[in-house]
Chains A and B, each alone.
Chain A
Amino acid sequence: MNIVVCVKQVPDTATERKLRSDDKTLDRDAADGVVNELDEYAVEEALRLKEAHGGEVTVLTMGPDKASDTIRKALAMGADKAVHLVDDALHGSDALGTSHALAQTLKKIGFDLVVLGSESTDARTGVLAAMLAERLNVPQLTFANKVEVNGSAIAIQRVTDYGYDKVEASLPAVVSVVEKINEPRYPSFKGIMAAKKKPVEKLGVADAEIDAAQVGLASSWSEVTDFAAAPPRAAGTIVKDEGDGGAKAADFLASKKFI
């Protein structure tokens, strides 16, 4: 099975994240780039499927040069090779543009299964997997906490408000995962060393047959008009429980008319 995992580099959520004042896009230089957390679960699931069914795992990342760190991390976990979609023309793409670029690349490199995280920690739109299914015209198997492949049949449990749906389809398909699905492995020392020699193919807009009129900031379907740091939350009142902590909390709730 030819599995492609989409991995995004995002700013570390532990550092302060900012937008750039010039073009109002994410300031990727201001914070350390890390693998989007859920994408580690996506890589893990791809590796498990490969271990069970054979095949190959390819990492696909769209992002600037420095995203190569993220790619190495996914390769160190055990993925076989990577495609790095990198081109200044892609900077500032919105969800429609990003999904176009990734879909074109996926068509070019081929796949039986595409695995994504269900949401990134920076933009958090949660739409990419659905958009890829739409663009690639393959089944959408998203928000999975369980994936089973049997020949060309694939089934997932899709997490819902009330529990989960069992969903069935056949390959090729797009899957997105939630964090309940597995526990991602840590790269071993051997894995880290091996990753350095694994092939990473760099593709630009033209190589991947991406329509330049559909990507980049100027071609986006939406724009940020302005932004500002949120006013800091006023410091709260913190009391130590001296046997009356519950009663004091009740006083606070009463003062706010909750009781």
Chain B
Amino acid sequence: MWLWNKIKQLAISFRAGKVTLGYPFEPRPAPEGFRGQPVWDHTRCIGCAGCANHCPARTIFLRDICQEVRILLYDSSRCTYCGRCADLCPEKAITMSQNFELATDNRQDITQTIELFMMTCQRCGRCYDLEIKNYLDKLSSLGYRYDCLEVRKVIHRATADFSPDMLEKTSSYQRPDSLEK
């Protein structure tokens, strides 16, 4: 019985033969519909921020450097290739490419940046004021984005509610010497 099983197992292994692919020496193209690195078409993008607002990984950043110029920066390193940005872009400016070989030691290789010229709205001109306690929040309510392109962090709103005193109070906290019973 034991031997018979081993023979069967041998047969299965031999029949399967070598299944390991020659990749990376032989290329292995991704199938159609594959969700690889998203690619931006700067001629189509209108800078609506739809992609940035819906990216679950928060890896698309926008910075309004003045009323007229908006910078869009996409950083692949945190992208999950979900394809939501491509789905939601009203101008179909984003395509999910077949490209998946993205390992690099330089973040800039996998970064895409677009500078967009924005018009100022003649009606609101992004200039009315609201009673919001915080300047960052105020800017955001006017449609401005001020994500940090240097450290690549989305800044949605201020976290002014947390009192640092709370942390201060516990700064002398010591790890317990033994587990309390």
Partners in one complex: no
B residues contacting A by CB (< 8 A) are none
A residues contacting B by CB (< 8 A) are none
